[in-house]
A and B are shown apart, each in its own frame.
Chain A
Amino acid sequence: MKRILILVLLICFSSCSDEFLEKKSDKSIIIPTTYKDLQSLLDNNVDAFNIDPSLGFIGSDDYTIEEMYWEYLYTAVERNGYTWNAEIYEGETGIDWNTPYKQVFYCNVILERLTELNPSDAETETWNTLKGSALFFRSMAFFNLLQVYAVPYDVSDLEEKLGIPLRLTADVNATITRASLKESYDRLIADLEESIPLLPLLPDYKTRPSQAAAYGLLSRVYLVMRNYEKAKEYSDSCLSITGSLMDYNSLDPSKSRPIVQFNDEVILHSTQVTYGIRTDAYVNADIYASYDNNDLRKTIFVNNDWGVPIFKGWYTGSSRLFSGIATDELYLNRAECYARMGDKDKALDDLNLLLRNRFVSGTFSPVTASSAAEALVIILNERRKELLFRNTRWSDLRRLNKETAFATTLTRTLNGSIYTLPPNDPRYTYPIPPDEILISQIPQNTRQE
């Protein structure tokens, strides 16, 4: 009898042991479990989300910096990045790499938790939004990493070229090496497409993802892939949700920051990691010179009070660089796609709609072109003038270098030395931070031919 009792006791304990051991050991620390917990992780735009790499900006020709300021730049990454050195870190850590991967980690934590939750009917929408948001943010992080740490997209050798580590689990012990370029782009596109039906058309807060943002990002992705039909299609989808443009006539150019945060054009608010270089930079003199006197961007984007063109057209409302998604970029994407697809009129319609909102009222005369090719040149030129200090330039340089007509050699002068970055140079792909290479043993990028 006793023996049976003990046996029963033992069996009973073993079977309910799983539940017994799931009890949280310390209540004061939250284990992100509820929808509210997960949303508050996604709303961490203090040190996790809505922060993108800035290396693209650092390597771009949107700006120049004077020697005296360059010398005092705080990080080696900025100093070496400006002169396109092969090695840039000098032992420093790479926040441009770490930050997107932190987002990937948060997203994986959220996605893994969501698979354990079975939403009721009333909770389905919340569940969907959370899942869509995590997929969106993870894809955006992957895309941003690819623009900096992987070679420019090209249909040839897609499967041989190295992409980035596609970390799809929150387990920090998992070893993951670099996926191919094809796998990398395929994954982020598939995830973005999956996110669309889950997301709201427009978000409650512009720091949160939405369908409009997902379409907008896909348009950007396909443009980088030089798939203009898809890029146009997604610009359409995005602009059909929100296409509002700010009339710059309503802005006050005398303000130190004339453009506000979360303005009508912003679809997703995002800023670049903060390097000191952004506030020491001067706007590229050629671009500044190219603004028509009636072009309000000349006074809204640039402060020339001290005789040097200092940027002030932040779409962040603060002195942080904008890297989010806004309608002006989408109009330019679509205009470019139309032009490349031969539809000159539609291309110019989009361009003129944008420019009408940028010129002093009554002074604007619509742009005309004799051919789609001519329109393309005009559109690409306007793209530079509109998306200044916005982090799109680096990706544009990488893709346009593939076309002989638009390939550019970048040059900088510093301390009497001239630095150049020829088209398709391997230095268009940044080195992966040394701590990553050391620990995970993934292959480093080649920077010198």
Chain B
Amino acid sequence: MRQRLLVLLMIVLNLTSFAQSRTVQGKVTSSSDQQPLPGVNVIVKGTTQGVSTDASGNFSILASEKDVLVFSFIGYTSQEINVGNQNVINISLTEDVTTLSEVMIYSTGYEQLPKERATGSFVKADNELINRKVSTNVLDRLEDVTSGLIFNRGGSATDPISIRGRSTLFANANPLIVIDNFPYDGDLSNINPNDVESITVLRDAAAASIWGARAGNGVIVITMKKGANRNAPKITFNSNVTVGEKIDPFYVPLMSTSDYIDTEKQLFSNGYYTSIENQLAHRAITPAVELLIANRDGLLSPEELDTKLHALKQRDVRNDYSKYLYQKSVNQQYAVNISGGSNQQTYFLSAGYDKNLGNLVGNQMDRFTLNAKNTWTLLRDRFIVSGDLYYTRTSNQNNGIDPYALKMTTYDPLYPYARFADNNGYALPVTQDYRESFKAQAESNGLLDWSYRPLQELNEIDRTTKNTDYRINTSLRYQIIPGLSADVLYQFWNSNIQGRNNYSEQSYFARNLVNQYTQEGATGLLTRPIPEGGILDVNNQAASSNNLRAQLNFSKTLGNHQINAIGGYEVKEVKTLGTRYRYYGYNDELANSSSVDYTTLFQQYYYQYGEARIPSNDGQFDLTDRFLSYYGNAAYTYRQRYTLSVSARKDQSNLFGVKANQKGVPLWSTGVSWNISEEPFYKISFLPYLKLRATYGYNGNIDKSVTAYTTAQTFGTNSITGLPYARIMNPPNPSLQWERIQIVNLGLDFEVVKNIVTGSIEYYQKNGSDLIGFAPIAPSTGLTRYKGNTASTRGNGFDITLNTNNINGAFKWQTNFLISASKLKVTSYKDEATTWYLLNYGYTGGYLREGNTLFGLYSYKSGGLDPTTGDPQGYVEGAVSKDYLQITQTTKPEEIVYHGSARPTNFGAIRNTFSWRNLSLSFNISYRLGYYFRRNSISYSNTLGLGGHGDYYKRWKNPGDEMRTDVPSLPTTFDANRDQFYLFSDALAEKGDHIRFQDIQLSYTLNQSSFGKLPFQRAQVYAYMNNIGILWKATDKVPDPDYLITPPLRTYSIGLKVDF
């Protein structure tokens, strides 16, 4: 079929060469910036013959000597050129000042699409917008400037970005990132934002379905900078520094140290510590309780006890966090590039260096990027070859200690009166894992120093990850005949990640492991199965991908008819190989280590009944993803008014089933657009531009956790025969296929006269079907639950973009509104989650209920506090109850409160830009509405709320308090279900709605044109401040609904950008 089409195509095209004309070639550029103009109509005047320029602005047309060529393009003044004896006509079009509309070119990764011909939903962030923010990561720059796109915060979001909501349950939920025409499989932090020219976001089926089974979450196409034809070398230098605030350790209120110690005293007198004291595993006990024990045992007088406890009460470890563990972040960025070109060749070279000091002392990142891009135009512009190398080397040091990870033992938090350093800054030990008395005894028996000094660990542990990432792109474009060209693109990507966690001999991590496994013989002789020395964990990952694409491009204008089509074939393989291993007794200076016995069970020094094998950290994985794809895209435009577009793609993959690969239907889309304002009858003068768009089609998504094949896991030996045995993990599912997301998109683009208002309004429906989900299955299949194409969702929403020119003179004021709404309902999901799972994980999307949204916040219905006891009250079968066991065990999923979405359903941003002469100021105000979150509160547990949340102070104490507080009283007896009920009751569910003053940017630009003699063409000094603060929020219970644990950190940047 494909061959026949191709032959047909060739015949048709060859017919045209019988006409008695010669080929005239050329290139159309924009007069303002010399950038090539794709999509320019080139017509032989008085005929219906015509072509349009390709992505590089090139055209080729048959014309005779007397012909006149007409070059026209929306937004530019048309030009007529007599052919005469010219074979090459290079012209530049000047922008049409009367129609001020911008020429927007969207990049889909397969073609450059002028906005005029687009039927689908595209959003573009141009270079100016990308550079408004200061960041190390390129994606951060999309926040609040691209409508429909939201950065997910809070919860346990594994999908940092959603485009028009989420349309999958458990599969990959991240948008596809395309760089240099190919999907990027590496870490996006490898891309230097200074090398990025523009970013296009593909939101609907017509825009994205060219990416087929990977387009379901939307596509972000990153276009990198490149050189320009006939340009003198241009050098750009950019540098900035960003300083971020320190984390405030007092952000979440907690029980005070004084009350902590008083509670410990209370627990001690209740006998709470007796069992811990008697534990054979020597579980650590806090210093205050140790003092109480010493006092009880007569080793400490009551006066001494009081003095010592009083001293402890004066401390707060959070001051030490601030002093020793947190720091102000400092990010430095330097980037330089040089670009230019001649008629035959263009080049772009860039280098960038970033150095970031993190928020935690000991965390830092270095990134070095290098980019070299060359394009040669040969054979009289018929052959274009380009080569590109992008190299990144990053080094991440993660040596910081996160206070939230500090614990005294697995069961006990770090006590708030811990002290990290003495007055001279010398590292002090804190109680860790085992009782100090046990450790002292062990040390006297010859074991290694067993004390834990957090500040010492900072220096003794080195966790460094180095990543070398490079991409090589080559592309060939050959113009077969005018209007038809062939592309072959190849990309090789390689990434090498080397992680090294080096725990020195002096680190607690190493000393503790050595001690745990130390064996004490009858005579007190010590042997060490884990040798004395450091421990080194090595974690290596190598990934590479090969991408090859062959594509035919066709573009032809015949009078009022314009056809643009592409078709191609793509093959891709990604291999990821990982290994992980551990060396014991490692000596970093000699790089030697010792082997250990991983099989024997060793008695644990700290616990006479405990036996364990030496932990091995070894493992490996080997993954291969392969794709074969066929795609095509065609658009037909009549009189520049009506456009019909179709797009289809068929993907085959080693993840899919045989059926999906062989018989699967392609994912397709179609769209129409209508430039109403071009119609002769159109008379609305205040709206010089009006365009309607409608699209329909499907995008797909892949879940790599399921495969079409039977998979099994093997186990060592079974207890009956001692033979190895295997268990089937995944049933064969030959009909497994990609998830399908059906999208309907309706759009309206408009422009009010003199550009007072421009914008677009889009409404969409997004329905997921064949979504991978769990479902109960007939047990006669051999399974009772399985994961397959079983679920479906229904979503809809709108995106409005409005740009207004409020004042347009010497002083300019522009406002950009981004208004989005996105709703989602799970319409079919049979594996209903139980109450407990909905309460605990509903908001993460991990557990769901048919009929509700994917990220639902659920709570127990609260009946207020009991006025006599302050106990929280719930409901059992409609009646107020304090039977917490009954409430927590028998409340059915349909009986709990469903608040709504835990993710914003309405969101957007408003950006105001003021400029006066060379000064420009812009600020962004963002909002998020229509969602809920659960705040934290006091859990009394069996420890009277020891060290708990600061709501402890708001608790019910006396009758009448129930009028002013929701926080239950201190319970008289321990009841875990009481805590469970309260923590998941609707008393703690809050509306997340808020408006945030996100950022502000100020810049001052010096131009050669306005200032005359300057050693450079243009220089800009800029300042930027991010995370300024909350302007309004619905809840008064927390400072920031999106940041419950640590505050968003305000950052201040200043930078300089010079063009030479």
Contact = CB atoms under 8 A, between A and B. Distances in A.
Count chain A CB atoms within 10 A of each CB in B715, B731, B733, B780 and give the residue with the most: B780
A25 B704 CA distance: 9
Given A10-B550, A10-B569, A21-B653, A172 B777 contact: yes
A97 B732 contact: no
B733 A173 contact: yes
B729 interface: yes
B721 interface: yes
Nearest to A95: B779
Interface in A33-48: 37, 40-41, 43-48
A20 interface: yes
Given A23-B624, A98-B784, A109-B710, A44 B704 contact: no
Contact of B655 (A25, A41, A106, A205): A25
Contacts of B592: none
A77 B652 CA distance: 47
A101 interface: yes
A21 B652 contact: yes
A29 B729 contact: yes
Interface in B1-56: 2-3, 6, 10
A30 B711 contact: yes
A13 interface: yes
B779 A2 contact: no
Size range of the interface on A? Answer: 35 or more
Nearest to A205: B721
B524 interface: no
Contact of A7 (B6, B622, B653): B6
B832 to A, nearest CB: 13
A436 B625 contact: no
B480 interface: yes
Contacts of B626: 20-21, 23, 25
Interface stretch (A163-171, A194-202, A287-295, A331-339): A163-171
Interface in A69-84: none
Contacts of B727: 44, 46-48
A440 interface: yes
B61 to A, nearest CB: 21
Interface string A381-416: 000000000000000000000000000000000000
Nearest to A208: B721
A144 interface: no
B726 interface: yes
Interface string A73-114: 000000000000000000001100110011111101100110
A45 B721 contact: yes
B605 interface: no
A146 B626 CA distance: 46
B569 A43 contact: no
Contact of A170 (B625, B710, B718): B710
Contacts of B621: 26-28
Interface string B456-500: 000000000000000000000010100000101000000000000
Interface string B771-788: 000001111111110101
Given A40-B723, A172-B733, A105 B778 contact: no
B724 interface: yes
B654 A24 contact: yes
Contacts of B715: 46
Contact of A102 (B569, B709, B714, B782): B782
Contact of A44 (B623, B653, B726): B726
Interface string A35-70: 001001101111110100000000000000000000
Interface in A144-188: 165, 167, 170-174, 176
Contact of A101 (B729, B731, B779): B779
A167 B781 contact: yes
B779 A17 contact: no
Contacts of A109: 710, 728, 732
B710 A43 contact: no
A210 interface: no
Given A31-B712, A205-B721, A435-B776, A21 B480 contact: no
A105 B782 contact: yes
Contacts, number: 187
A46 B784 contact: no
Contacts of B778: 435-436, 439-440
Contacts of A165: 780
Contact of B725 (A9, A43, A105): A43
A18 to B, nearest CB: 8
B676 to A, nearest CB: 41
Interface in B708-744: 709-715, 718-721, 723-735
A122 interface: no
A32 interface: yes
Contacts of A28: 620-622
Nearest to A107: B782
A170 B731 CA distance: 8
A209 interface: no
Contact of A32 (B625, B726, B788): B726
A10 B656 CA distance: 22
Contacts of A112: 732
A25 B624 CA distance: 5
A31 B571 CA distance: 25
A97 B780 contact: yes
Nearest to A317: B720
A31 B779 contact: no
Given A7-B3, A32-B712, A170-B732, A105 B783 contact: yes
A22 B777 contact: no
A24 B552 CA distance: 32
Contacts of A171: 732-735
B723 A43 contact: yes
B661 interface: yes
A436 B711 contact: no
Contacts of B622: 26-28
A436 B733 contact: no
B666 to A, nearest CB: 15
Contacts of B653: 21
A20 B704 CA distance: 18
Contacts of A48: 727
Nearest to B578: A28
Contacts of B486: 2-3, 6
Contact of A37 (B3, B624, B707, B712): B712
Interface in B635-657: 652-656
A299 interface: no
B889 to A, nearest CB: 16
Contacts of A31: 709-712
Contacts of B723: 40, 43, 205
A148 to B, nearest CB: 13
Contacts of A105: 728, 731, 781-783
A93 B569 CA distance: 50
A25 to B, nearest CB: 5
B428 interface: no
B782 A101 contact: yes
A241 to B, nearest CB: 21
Interface in B537-591: 550, 552, 569, 571
25 contacts: A13-B571, A17-B628, A17-B652, A21-B661, A23-B624, A25-B707, A27-B621, A28-B622, A31-B711, A40-B723, A40-B726, A43-B721, A48-B727, A97-B779, A97-B780, A98-B779, A102-B783, A105-B728, A109-B728, A165-B780, A167-B780, A167-B781, A170-B710, A171-B734, A171-B735
Closest 9 CB pairs of A and B: A105-B782, A440-B778, A27-B622, A40-B726, A44-B725, A439-B778, A172-B781, A29-B711, A98-B779
Interface of B: 2-3, 6, 10, 478, 480, 486, 488, 550, 552, 569, 571, 620-626, 628, 652-656, 661, 704, 707, 709-715, 718-721, 723-735, 776-784, 786, 788
Given A172-B781, A207-B720, 7 more contacts: A20-B654, A23-B626, A26-B621, A26-B622, A47-B727, A167-B781, A172-B732
